[in-house]
Structure 1
Amino acid sequence: MSNFSASKEANIQVRLFHHRGGKYLRIDFKQYDSNAKYRCKQIEGYRYSATHSCWYFPCTSGTITALRSAFPGLSIASSVLEEMNLEISETPPAPAIREEKMAVWVSRTAGRKFKIEMPEVRSDWASKLEIIPGWHFDTAGQFWLLPDNKESIRLLFSLFGQHLELTPEIQADFAPRSGGRGSDSISLPKPQRVRWRPSTTLPPMHEKALLAFEEQLLIERMSYATMKSYLNHFARFLSHFPQREAKDISPDQIRDYVIHIVKARDYSASSQNQIINAIKAYYEKVLKYQRQLYKVSRPKKPLRLPSILTREEVRQLFDATPNLKHRCILMLIYSAGLRISEAVNLRVRDIKKSRKCIFIRDGKGSKDRYTVLANNVMPVLDQYLKQYHPKLYLFEGQSGGAYSKRSIQAFFCRARDRAGINPDVTVHSLRHSFATHSLDAGENLRYIQEALGHNDIKTTERYLHVSSDALRSLSSPLDDMDLS
């Protein structure tokens, strides 16, 4: 706080300012510095004029004292001091500006937004907030606004770690609750960066590479799960070469590493592809190397047919779910073909009853879409809304905020066991069942693709392999033989 250079003081001008019928002191910066803004905000009575692009303060001797304390060596025009009847040679007392610990403060506004305030002595922190989707900077109040959701909290923790400070209200909303398996809590990330930390400390050169990779992934707004996976695999890759910088690792060494790690850990084809993707992402996105830098064989991903329920099993599952809220969640997931993440992120306003559709915001791949709202789910949904009165999210936890995905998985398993149906099915099987049953009912494959949010029609076509009607329409050549 104390090392504000004298050369910068010369770039600051204090003059009288007439504004809205009053007289104030105005401060201008010839060469703007974020440290100066932080110091201005510590002076009592400060205001910022977006119209005049300046900070202004009450025209009092106390303000002059505070300005001199905030900017030691500050030169104030004699005309200003004379009009205020102050001595030109007046020396300021001990600095009155308060020292603030390096922290990012997160509070909640009345409009259900996160309000972000921070000391401008760390201006590099402010630029990172632009990575978070939905950010907005309030020029009048000089603070940031972010969407009030757990993804914002996760990204804030990944960006600022231990420096993040939440109000008790927000901590209560996002902190894990006691109650174990049936809890409606939202898991709050630990106050650290999202990347995986190896058991052995990485050398500084690898820490720098890992940080650069994380920031690149944040800039590209990759999902939290993808970031965590990429950083996890890349950190293991770096720890395999403790004495060599990432830029000096040859393509042959990369290939040898992939072979070694797949053999040692017996990775699946999907995991092997993810390791290759993580390494490629660093070299191509951070170091800007060409795609032809190295050649690593890609394993062929096996085709797995989705597990589905029959219509009768779906009915049995609903009957085995006595809780109104739980039954409404499962019925909505099945009737609209939702992913579990899409179900918990639904807002009350996303249910379009008049249009008989559901708006899915920010689904997989950051895509919005509409899907169907079934007629038979409406009575259950209306009863749920009347009984629970959700405010923001359609399905809210006990402490507010979005419902927990883990809680949905838990009560689904209990209902599945009570119903005595296929023990291998999961919540996601309801989405698969929606697609398969829609095909069996003769619905257009293109419409099903739109409802599910698939980019490629080939992804939707895989449900043809499990459609019972498609199999029934195929006759076996054995049936044409006379075996009597």
Structure 2
Amino acid sequence: MSLTTVKIKSFQHRQQQCVGLIFKYDLKIIELVKTMPGARWSATKKCWYISETEGYQQIIKDAIGGICKLEFNIVPKTPGVDEIKDYRDGGSIKGEEENILDVKCDEKQKTFYIHLPYRFKDDFKKLEGAWWHPGAKVWSALNTGDNRAHLIEILKATSYKVSFAPTKERERKPNKRPKLINPLQPEKEFLRHMQIEKKSQNTIRQYTWYVVWFLTINRNNDIKTTPGELVMKFLHDEIVERNYGPSAQNQALSAIKYYYRNVHHVDLDAENIPRPKWKRPLPKVISEEEFIAMYRQCNNVKHQIILKLLYGCGLRRAEVCDLKVNDVDFKRELIFVKGKGDKYRVLNPGRRLLDDLKKYNKSFLPKDYLIEGQRGGKYSATSIEKIVKRTAEKAGLKQNIYPHMLRHTFATHHMEKGTELRLIQEALGHSSSKTTEIYTHVSRKNIKKMRNLLDDINI
């Protein structure tokens, strides 16, 4: 049986020197490629690739060398003396295209960062303060005149040019909203009341959307004459009939009630508008052994930190995304978490997680958010869900695992270890202890206190 040939070629991708692996579709090879550090699929290059870092040949051999025939074709032609002379005189080196290497300068840290091709690493190491960050896959050095001049000299005889620029925060794309035909906006008093009451931005967005929706649907009706009837008709025709859940129904009703109360001074409570029954199921949890199995299937350092924050600190998915670099106080060994309603709470991360976070920060160099996406900015909540599901599947867990289940597990395991209910309540950010008490119903320790009657009879 002949081995599948994998061609390995070097190319520039997103201003970074990479190594592409080109082969015919083979699920077994793909699964092994995914185990390589930083392996990603490029839709533009139509191949899997890794960064051209030190020792990448051995990484490839260790991962797929046993089942594939490897063809390395990555070493670019080294320009000769005559070619370099021609280049300096205004010509170009044969076989190379001109590439611009963006150098990001951090004025606060007096440091610059660059995605440098692998073959220049030995020369770059001679710069003052030179450092390789494996997580971010970027080199850094002190932003001095000598270092800049040295970097330009390193690349002088090549087709690479450097462009020094200050770091800029990535712009966030606006959220997409459902489109309404000629939407009607609420009065200014509506927004002003919410701002005075310091409602969270998420609440303001949601309330505004439901009120705009309600006003647009009733543009031809007098909303002051029969408000109760119009609201119930809106909730039924637009919310219930579209199969929105109880949570959306409650939020829509709360938004419209808030609008009537603060803008038209009408109390809709007298209308007896029914709210949907809230069916609260018992929280689902996993065992400690199951979490360990999940964690051991995760080889990505950033993903490991996410799992630890979900299970070890009981954070919500959105809270992990909102964590800022400055929210971790390494001196006082605390984490400040921004929860629902912009309420902050303080957590004890423990020394093990703090040590992991120090290594993570040094490797990945997060700028603003602690967990950043591949191109900077806030990490995607959807990506966190995929990480949890994927590691659970690899660990062989049969049930559907989602991020919030790890938060339930955090609370339940603390309950079983005898942690005070009040401390668990504060760690979870619950305003009422009744919300936290639900975990007493799923605590294995409490359940086992009551023996099953069948254990005491011989049948």
Q: TM-score range by the shorter chain?
A: 0.5 to 0.7
2:344 is equivalent to residue 372 of structure 1: no
- CA deviations 1:211-241 (Å, max 9, x no partner) are 6545544554433433333333333323332
Q: In 2 relative to 1, CA 209–381 (structure 1 residues): closer, same or farther, beyond 3 Å?
A: closer
| Conserved? CA contact 1:308–1:430, under 8 Å | yes
Name the structure 2 match of 1:270: 247
Per the TM alignment, residue 110 of structure 1 is displaced from its structure 2 partner at its CA by 7.0
Give the CA RMSD over aligned residues.
3.0
- CA deviations 1:84-125 (Å, max 9, x no partner) are xxxxxxxxxxxxxxxxxxxxxxxxx9789xxxxxxxxxxxxx
Query: Out of 435, 441, 459, which is 2:411 matched to?
Result: 435
- CA deviations 1:348-379 (Å, max 9, x no partner) are 3322344433122x321211111121233244
Query: Out of 346, 351, 354, which is 2:323 matched to?
Result: 346
Q: In 2 relative to 1, CA 174–412 (structure 1 residues): closer, same or farther, beyond 3 Å?
A: farther
| Conserved? CA contact 1:346–1:395, under 8 Å | yes
How far, CA to CA, are the matches of 2:388 and 2:416 in structure 1?
25
Per the TM alignment, residue 327 of structure 1 is displaced from its structure 2 partner at its CA by 0.5
- CA deviations 1:389-428 (Å, max 9, x no partner) are 3343322334333333233223222222212224422112
How far, CA to CA, are the matches of 1:433 and 1:421 in structure 2?
15
Alignment of 1:177-256 (within 5 A): 188-189=173-174, 196-198=178-180, 200-202=181-183, 207-209=184-186, 213-214=190-191, 216-256=193-233
| Conserved? CA contact 2:311–2:409, under 8 Å | yes
- CA deviations 1:294-343 (Å, max 9, x no partner) are 22122220012222221111111111110112111211221111112222
How far, CA to CA, are the matches of 2:202 and 2:389 in structure 1?
23
Alignment of 1:141-156 (within 5 A): none
Name the structure 1 match of 2:336: 359
Per the TM alignment, residue 451 of structure 1 is displaced from its structure 2 partner at its CA by 0.8
- CA deviations 1:427-482 (Å, max 9, x no partner) are 121111111111111111100111111100011111112111111111123334x3
Q: In 2 relative to 1, CA 329–295 (structure 1 residues): closer, same or farther, beyond 3 Å?
A: same
How far, CA to CA, are the matches of 2:246 and 2:442 in structure 1?
23
Name the structure 2 match of 1:469: 445
How far, CA to CA, are the matches of 1:254 and 1:346 in structure 2?
38
Please give the secondary structure, in 1, of the residue aligned with 2:170.
Answer: helix
Q: In 2 relative to 1, CA 259–384 (structure 1 residues): closer, same or farther, beyond 3 Å?
A: closer
How far, CA to CA, are the matches of 1:305 and 1:412 in structure 2?
20
Q: Which moved more, 1:240-249 or 1:418-427?
A: 240-249
2:372 is equivalent to residue 393 of structure 1: no
How far, CA to CA, are the matches of 2:370 and 2:235 in structure 1?
44
- CA deviations 1:35-70 (Å, max 9, x no partner) are xxxxxxxxxxxxxxxxxxxxxxxxxxxxxxxxxxxx
Query: Out of 260, 282, 294, which is 2:271 matched to?
Result: 294
Name the structure 2 match of 1:453: 429
2:406 is equivalent to residue 421 of structure 1: no
Query: Out of 170, 173, 197, which is 1:173 matched to?
Result: 170
Name the structure 1 match of 2:386: 410
Name the structure 1 match of 2:35: none
Please give the secondary structure, in 2, of the residue aligned with 1:246.
Answer: coil
Q: In 2 relative to 1, CA 416–300 (structure 1 residues): closer, same or farther, beyond 3 Å?
A: same
How far, CA to CA, are the matches of 1:240 and 1:275 in structure 2?
14
5+ residue gaps, structure 1: 1-108, 113-167, 176-187
Name the structure 2 match of 1:331: 308
Letter in 2 for 1:223: S
| Conserved? CA contact 2:246–2:277, under 8 Å | yes
% identical equivalent positions: 34
How far, CA to CA, are the matches of 2:179 and 2:108 in structure 1?
37
Letter in 2 for 1:454: H
Alignment of 1:34-73 (within 5 A): none
| Conserved? CA contact 1:464–1:470, under 8 Å | yes
5+ residue gaps, structure 2: 1-105, 110-165
Letter in 1 for 2:365: H
Please give the secondary structure, in 2, of the residue aligned with 1:247.
Answer: coil
Please give the secondary structure, in 1, of the residue aligned with 2:186.
Answer: helix
Q: In 2 relative to 1, CA 441–290 (structure 1 residues): closer, same or farther, beyond 3 Å?
A: same
Q: In 2 relative to 1, CA 169–394 (structure 1 residues): closer, same or farther, beyond 3 Å?
A: closer
Per the TM alignment, residue 195 of structure 1 is displaced from its structure 2 partner at its CA by 6.5
How far, CA to CA, are the matches of 1:289 and 1:435 in structure 2?
41
Name the structure 1 match of 2:152: none
Aligned length: 299
| Conserved? CA contact 1:210–1:231, under 8 Å | no
How far, CA to CA, are the matches of 2:362 and 2:227 in structure 1?
63
| Conserved? CA contact 1:437–1:467, under 8 Å | yes
Q: TM-score under structure 2 normalisation?
A: 0.58
Letter in 2 for 1:420: G
Query: Out of 285, 288, 298, which is 1:308 matched to?
Result: 285
How far, CA to CA, are the matches of 2:346 and 2:393 in structure 1?
32
Letter in 2 for 1:394: L
Q: TM-score under structure 1 normalisation?
A: 0.55
